[in-house]
Amino acid sequence: MAFPALSNLGTDPFFNTAFSQGAVPTNEFAFKLASTGSELFLGGANTARFSGSIEFHSVSSSAGGFWQISGASIHTGSATPVTGFQTIIDSGTTIMYGPPAAVKKFYASVTGAKLFDSTNGFYSFPCSSVPSVSFSWGGKNWAITAAKYVAIFYIFIHQHS
């Protein structure tokens, strides 16, 4: 589902070809990600899988082929410790990376959090007080459930070489 710039084969990815050949009605796709019953819907969104309106954002033209959008903010409880950053939306990864200063600022707002591994930039927090975490790109706050945050999302420092 990536852009042509990321193609290892040097050709247009499947979805780009499907759209250019008229096999799908719109140049949009949607994912429903769940522990069971996940879905990839090509040519729009399956309205039976969600309620409310869809939130659209511009993708950065300088993102090197990634689904990168700007203007993000991260929230924990009623605090918004980090704002105005770029994010890459990727359904193929289960981790989050961040600049060291932003990650440190985020965890400074999480009760009981502390640097667990300074080499890799891992933080810990008490299991009895999992933080309420959500992201926003200028519209709705998109919550990450406590179970998902603990199970698959670890924010850590991205080491730059």
Q: What is the pLDDT of residues 42-85, one digit of tens each?
A: 999 999 998 988 888 888 867 677 888 889 999 998 899 999 98
Residues 37 and 76 in one domain: no
Instruction: Annotate 116-135 with b (16+ C-beta within 10 A) or e (fewer).
Output: eeeeebebebeeeeebbbeb
The reply to whether the predicted model has a pTM over 0.85 is no
Q: Is residue 152 part of a domain?
A: yes
Residue span of the structural domain in which 15 resides: 4-49
Q: Is residue 86 part of a domain?
A: yes
CATH code for the domain of 82: 2.40.70.10
Q: Is residue 62 part of a domain?
A: no
Q: Is residue 59 part of a domain?
A: no
9: three-class secondary structure by DSSP: coil
Confidence of residue 159 (pLDDT cuts 50, 70, 90): very low
Of 71-85, 86-100, 127-141, the least confident? 86-100
Residues 72 and 100 in one domain: yes
Residues 78 and 33 in one domain: no
Number of domains in the chain: 2
